[in-house]
Amino acid sequence: MLQAEIFRERIDREIAALRLTREPQELYDPIEYVLSNGGKKARPVLALMACKLFSDDTEKALPAALAVEIFHNFTLVHDDIMDDAPLRRNKPTVHEKWGSNVGILSGDAMMVMAYQQLAQCAPEHLGEVLHVFNTAALHVCEGQQMDMNFQDREQVSIAEYVRMIELKTSTLLAASLKMGAILGGASDEQAELLWEFGRNIGIAFQLQDDILDLYGEEGKFGKKVGGDIVAGKKTFLMLKALELANGALESELAILVSDQSRNAEVQVAETRQIFNELNVKELALAEVRKYHDEGMSHLEALAVDTSKKKLLKHMAEQLLNREI
């Protein structure tokens, strides 16, 4: 997809041009490491694509695109510390290389850098863009706290879980699209349709991420397969399994969830076997399709030339076209 690659390369050039070699190195080296550590750059690319729907001058959305990419990576650094995750994109996480204190401080600096980029948006749109960005940033924090709360709760509903991933993951996708649209000159109604498109695609993306955590190939997934199971996370798959299990399966699953002393590989393998018996993977894939279709309906409702919308549609399909 040529346009997405052009936008991705544009973002890469801007990130490479950031002044990250200054002192103290202990602060900036981790930032450079994170921002150069690959990734799909989906959020900034979507921001530029949304702008392109309404204006040929996508440069005016570049500050917002960079802001959202820096902010997203900041959240990953802090999330990895909270989850004690060893890998991110097949490489050691920041706290694994430099320690948690450096990870926290470097993440804080990235948050400041994100606002420095955002401040460069056109003055006539800055207030509105700041509102969208701040709303999304706060939602990410709320979603992360809900995620941590769920680990200490015996019962979590699937509706609560979906709300959590909406806040923690999909809101930032939605905000990227809405900010790009605003900076491109979209109407309020058009910008809101793109928000809803991104919100639903983001939920579908995270549900698929839950599936990949257990059923993906580690080298392609970029994280330790089964990490959610070992961490005791209540993902959609686990919640659906707990809802469906009864008798012996219910007892086995309860033991697996509560006994964190068990060998990790055995725990993951036995949990996968129970999920397979309960058809949980297929049920999760059906949810992915549901939110995907809902997102696409909002894109279809957008009063923009169909040929322009095809690029966004294809980008969304690429996000969800990961091997399971």
Does 222 score more than 70 pLDDT? no
Q: What's the mean pLDDT in 243-261?
A: 84
Could you give the domains of the chain? 2-320 (1.10.600.10)
Q: What's the mean pLDDT in 13-34?
A: 92
Which residue, among 125, 73, 321, has the nearest Cα to 220 in the 3D structure?
Answer: 321
Mutual angle of helices 42-52 and 306-320, in 10-degree steps? 170
Strand partners, 91: 88
Does 323 score more than 90 pLDDT? no
Within 10 angstroms of residue 232's Cβ, the number of other Cβ atoms is 15
Six-digit token string for 244: 């469906």
Q: What distance in Å separates the CA atoms of residue 180 and residue 176, rounded to the nearest whole number?
A: 6
pLDDT reported for residue 23: 93
Q: What distance in Å separates the CA atoms of residue 115 and residue 236, rounded to the nearest whole number?
A: 33
Six-digit token string for 223: 């994280």
pTM for this entry: 0.91
Q: What distance in Å separates the CA atoms of residue 22 and residue 28, rounded to the nearest whole number?
A: 7
pLDDT reported for residue 263: 86
DSSP per-residue string spanning 234-279: --HHHHHHHHH--HHHHHHHHHHHH-TTS-HHHHHHHHHHHHHHTT
Backbone angles phi, psi at 87, to 5 degrees: -125, 145
Work out the mean pLDDT of the chain and round it to a whole number: 92
25-76 pLDDT tens trace: 999 999 999 998 877 899 999 999 999 999 999 999 999 999 999 999 999 9
Q: What's the mean pLDDT in 299-317?
A: 90
158-184 pLDDT tens trace: 999 999 999 999 999 999 999 999 999
98-156 pLDDT tens trace: 999 999 999 999 999 999 999 999 999 999 999 999 999 999 999 999 999 998 888 89
The Cα angle at residue 27 between residues 68 and 40, in degrees rounded to 5: 35
